[in-house]
A and B are shown apart, each in its own frame.
Chain A
């Protein structure tokens, strides 16, 4: 089979799973210093699928794309420590403040610039923005078919890929033509570890940084100016006691709770 050009979309995110006491500043903004920046977890799953494609089809290359501030180059290096061949960091003040529309515009511009990819793999969702829209939007902009919620690659043939994807209450097997964009679920295989030799060989690697101009993008469609989304206000909502219901461990309480849950179709 002819070798493939594979792209991985990966985002650096604050580690929202380890939110400590000092995660928020007094003024309600995020205290970045208290939240370590990590590789978006589902993008790790995506990277693993990309590396498996490379294993299945020797000679293929895996390229990581990330958009973020200067330090997001760690994402590209992390990918390369685990087996990706190279990567690009999209960084430019003009990219800043992007919503999903501007993010997918920037990413698709870069993907176009870097050449035609056979398979683009992203995570399902980022743990900070949490929209799960960027992958599908990139596919739309590049005019590619997309398969979301991918859990496993079942087969790779010339010009065709067979996948298992998660759906509510089960799984589905789908076939897609190449080129294609996949978004990978957290239930897919965990990413392989860093490889000792790759870490040593690439620890000082230069990561190519691309600006808006480098990817031939229209500045008006990037960053804040390209984002119709305007965040007006962020509220911290805490649940009130009246929204919860107290129930003791007595047989009677449990029976009435179960009945209630069955009646309102929460269970059963």
Chain B
């Protein structure tokens, strides 16, 4: 009756000791309680607030967004007069989320936000995405406000963040026809208009989600004559100023809930956000990290929908005199969907926790200097979050695709028909491993944490934590996986050849991910064996085999064979 309440696997992830610490960091002594009637007075009160807000999200997801999703998928957005128009269902979803006050979950109260951690935002994103991944994009773009908050001036925060809290939407305008994975080649031109004392933007952006939003963050080349990332700055474009039109919207395979726009900037007035030249190397990196976490949550939501669809269809459909969930081939697929989903969830919420710790400390640092211990904690969690984010985005999105595929398989011929939800899930899932950096680019981001041992020591640390006796053999299995991962890393890096490392990178990153996700899921399963132990065992069996496969591939390969792969 309420997706949040009916999914104890989500709440379990929110009931960990780190959450209490996060609340304390987010609430700085609960001073807001004196000023805002909705601010919590203590940790328990805050955790109860999180629960209640997620209950609202669970209700809206199940009872508004999900029922609208089929219509949205069929109708899609449209474009006319230089503007994008949402499908009617999308517009309704957005209005309901505004009424529920969910448009600025993470923003501080002084702007009108709820001051909740990213972890809670991720849980909300997961729930919404289970209903409609495309719509989750629109709501998810509120995380652009975090970047504005981090790098904008006080005046910019006052003017723009308040509007987001009141329900205005945002977009991040990075990609161009010739700058996709390679954002260093962004060419949209920013020039300073001395007469009007403002910046002017000219050029084209492509594939911009919610490109007709109220407030845009735009990556543009402000430094004439430069060609690399250091010539790029970040700008704020306010739709009220005019100057940007939607030339077309893309006719996409999935996520019809979110319009993907091609934008033409024609002398559009804009203001600089932060310092010149730091647009890509600092601000967009931060923006993308938040957005990647959002896609990880989106992917988890799709996997969760796939699981529900698979379960209910398989329990209903009869062949050879019994329901198909009695056949090992079918129940294995269902168990695998659940295992991949739960492994993704464990990683998602762990990453979000780490993000919360360092971002909250960074925020405290805006008011006072941090103690040396705090500074160290901030650094530590920032590094861990940076390491886990590409794993979470990369793995969860690939798993969402696999899960949607298996979900169709479980439906047989019916799954190929548009009558069943799984067909849309399959199309919606496909984008998750492409935008916000393709899986290949996540590997590029993650590989340094393979070679510098970050992942390995994380897993080692988790394995040193005491778990109940019956987990000993499972931990032993993880230790063996870790040993294989380390040996494979060593074998690849010993060659000292960049192409070779790039070639093996995905295998190494996946091995790391299986160890990390396996350890995290095992830890969560120890807390709630009745919910997760089976999935943890299913996942470990699968992960061990994957690690073994990659290990054997790496062992039996050598750089000479690279040429076989080249045309």
Residues of A at under 8 Å CB distance from B?
192-201, 203
Contact = CB atoms under 8 A, between A and B. Distances in A.
A interface SS class: helix
Contacts of B96: 192-193
B40 to A, nearest CB: 8
A196 B50 CA distance: 10
Contacts of B38: 196-198, 200-201
Which range holds the interface residue count of chain B? 10 to 19
A195 B55 CA distance: 11
Contacts of A198: 38, 101
A186 to B, nearest CB: 15
B533 interface: no
Contacts of B64: 193
A196 B48 CA distance: 12
A199 B60 contact: no
B50 to A, nearest CB: 10
Interface of B: 37-40, 48-49, 52-53, 56, 59-60, 64, 96, 99-102, 114
Given A200-B38, A200-B49, 16 more contacts: A192-B96, A192-B100, A193-B59, A193-B64, A193-B99, A193-B100, A194-B56, A196-B52, A196-B100, A196-B114, A197-B114, A198-B38, A198-B101, A199-B53, A200-B52, A203-B48
Nearest to B64: A193
B101 A203 contact: no
A196 B102 contact: yes
26 contacts: A192-B96, A192-B99, A192-B100, A193-B56, A193-B59, A193-B60, A193-B96, A194-B59, A194-B100, A196-B38, A196-B53, A196-B56, A197-B38, A197-B114, A198-B38, A198-B101, A199-B53, A199-B56, A200-B38, A200-B39, A200-B49, A200-B52, A200-B114, A201-B38, A203-B48, A203-B52
A194 B101 CA distance: 9
A116 to B, nearest CB: 29
Contact of B99 (A195, A199, A200): A195
A200 B40 CA distance: 8
Nearest to A195: B101
Nearest to B100: A193
B60 A200 contact: no
Contacts of A200: 38-40, 49, 52-53, 114
Contacts of A192: 96, 99-100
A197 B101 contact: yes
A196 B37 contact: no
Contacts of B49: 199-200, 203
B556 to A, nearest CB: 56
B52 A199 contact: yes
Closest 7 CB pairs of A and B: A200-B38, A201-B37, A196-B101, A201-B38, A193-B100, A197-B38, A192-B99
A203 B41 CA distance: 13
A147 B102 CA distance: 35
A182 to B, nearest CB: 22
